[in-house]
Chain A
């Protein structure tokens, strides 16, 4: 859910900002996330219970991602105590020194994938990129793998891929070449770009926001697309004729950080410890399709058995997907994104 171009996000930010109560007590912290239904779910799952447990006030804001944090930190005007980011953004921001160190005496990291536990950032939830197709066009014989998606003769139809998330599109492009899911990382970027090059002439839209991906599929503007599982789940709930699965999905983590210079660092640390605790992590899938980052959440018994199969980070679903490696993209993202943009904007 690292969504830039969030015009809606901006609007929501303005709205939230105007509703927010002015800061006063020391025990007030501000948490920023992506807005929309995802943040509403987080409010119910994480923010409200934490505020109650710790006896603090949690104010909310929305973010557009790493550039917001960079702006606040470099401008010495940090207004957030905790903010959510995409894992690759956390890895990059960490390299730039934008975050406070986390205290793992306060935060219990057990149950969280070690790849998502770092000095200054920690995983919070998962989003998957999945292949969705319209059943009114293909019945149940739609494209099931990315190789199918790339096969324009066997599966004629209109297609959309993400144009804003180069990391995700390059990962699915690697899968389309037939690379097995455990061999995708480290991504052979030039090979993946060649793969994108093969399909780009058949792409009818390069989406830049989750809402846009959803609209393209919902309105039948495209017959198949890459899409975030949360959006795909919403489409299915709304009764749109679509099908998707976690097979060959790309599992991307979101993370939380304390921006450098936060004025309520200690309270924020305690709040963050609560957010990643199995107890509250297990609340998240009750409200939204984004899975918990802490595996122990599945052992709490809070998540109904019939719900587990729909959750992207459930152990049985994790096995079917590629886990996006934030450390890989930390070092390669800029160059890869430039090359990717250069290719699709030709």
Chain B
């Protein structure tokens, strides 16, 4: 981190040894060698990521007749529903990510504090649904949440409500279904990072007279932030491209970007129409990731350097 920082320069900067040039040449040779070793990996990344995305971008610039045009992008502004869909997508992603943090953080914390055996058993309950088909879980939620589903019939039988609650085929249904599916993606990285937090740090804090709450707030929570950040980013990005759950739980009233892409791809005879949607989502997602990096990454690394 601190190589090349001002404090080191006076010591070794001006005083160049006789072998400085040779050393530099050696270093250059070594980095060339490393680059050569890396090249198969770089080629693979180029072939499977850069080329297809470039192609996607390229396709998005052509209209039905094969002419270079901005028609595929102009569509976003001509039709209000594209903007609406885009906003809905991010709204769902934010709400679901928030709900995952709300449920996932206490869960991961509990798991990290449990004795190893109990923690492994509890982890099974996190991972088991993770292995079950998304389609199956979504249909299960539909059975539970719909008008004559389990939740509504129980609540009505118990006399809590007289009219069924609107839980399926709307925004609430999508959020509930997606939160359930996304939760493991937050809990697992968060749990892994919480397990690496040195218990001695917490003990030291207590020894110095901090209350358990203060220890959590001032020591545990900041140390768990990098794990939380990676969990949040994974969940958020997965949400942006989600299809199955909003398609089934939204009742056609919660249209997310991936659903719109599917509609557009089957509607237009040129791939560019769908490609443009992909490009826009990719660009906005990258911009947001950059923002997250700046916001969470800086804070998280700040914590580490304070150690």
Contact = CB atoms under 8 A, between A and B. Distances in A.
Nearest to A158: B147
A337 B252 contact: no
A67 B265 contact: yes
Nearest to B75: A338
A200 to B, nearest CB: 10
Interface stretch (B16-24, B32-40, B77-85, B195-203): B77-85
A204 interface: yes
Contacts of A108: none
A77 interface: no
Contact of B244 (A7, A92, A204, A215): A7
Interface string B81-112: 10011000000000000000000000000000
Contacts of B252: 163-164, 205-208, 344
A221 B81 contact: no
A96 B265 CA distance: 15
Contact of A65 (B135, B143, B255, B266): B266
Given A4-B262, A65-B266, A342 B79 contact: yes
B56 interface: no
A205 B80 contact: no
Contact of A221 (B75, B80, B148): B148
A203 to B, nearest CB: 8
Given A7-B244, A221-B148, A337-B267, A206 B253 contact: yes
Interface in A317-339: 333-334, 337-338
A265 interface: no
Contacts of B255: 345
A284 interface: no
Q: What is the interface residue range for chain A against chain B?
A: 35 or more
A212 interface: yes
B168 interface: yes
B253 A338 contact: no
A5 B267 CA distance: 13
B251 A5 contact: no
A346 interface: yes
A338 B74 CA distance: 14
B167 to A, nearest CB: 11
Interface of B is mostly: helix
B266 A221 contact: no
A342 B80 contact: yes
Contact of A4 (B80, B142, B143, B266): B266
Q: What is the interface residue range for chain B against chain A?
A: 20 to 34
Interface string B145-175: 0111100000000000000000011000000
Interface in B262-292: 262-263, 265-269
A219 interface: yes
Contacts of B135: 7
Given A66-B266, A206-B252, A208-B252, A5 B84 contact: no
Interface in B227-283: 244, 247-248, 251-253, 255, 262-263, 265-269
A212 B266 contact: no
A241 interface: no
Contacts of B143: 219
Nearest to A206: B252
A96 B66 CA distance: 13
A206 B169 CA distance: 9
A334 B81 contact: no
A341 B263 contact: yes
A205 B253 contact: yes
A70 interface: yes
A233 interface: no
B81 A341 contact: yes
Contacts of A49: none
Given A4-B262, A208-B247, A346 B81 contact: yes
A5 B247 contact: yes
A52 to B, nearest CB: 35
Contacts of A216: 169
A345 B169 contact: no
A4 B259 CA distance: 11
Contacts of A206: 251-253
Contacts of B267: 333-334, 337-338
B273 to A, nearest CB: 9
Candidate in B80, B147, B149, B268 with the most chain A CB atoms within 10 angstroms: B147
Interface string A175-210: 000000000000000000000000000001111100
A70 B81 contact: no
B79 A338 contact: yes
B175 to A, nearest CB: 17
A316 to B, nearest CB: 34
The 8 A-B pairs at the shortest CB distance, nearest first, are namely: A206-B252, A205-B251, A163-B252, A345-B81, A342-B81, A205-B169, A67-B266, A220-B148
21 contacts: A4-B262, A7-B247, A64-B266, A65-B266, A158-B147, A164-B263, A204-B169, A205-B251, A205-B253, A206-B253, A215-B142, A219-B147, A221-B146, A221-B148, A221-B168, A334-B268, A342-B79, A344-B252, A345-B84, A345-B255, A346-B81
Interface of A: 4-5, 7, 64-67, 70, 92, 96, 158, 160, 163-164, 204-208, 212, 215-216, 219-221, 333-334, 337-338, 341-346
Interface of B: 75, 79-81, 84-85, 135, 142-143, 146-149, 168-169, 244, 247-248, 251-253, 255, 262-263, 265-269
Given A160-B251, A346-B81, 6 more contacts: A67-B266, A96-B269, A164-B252, A212-B248, A219-B146, A344-B252
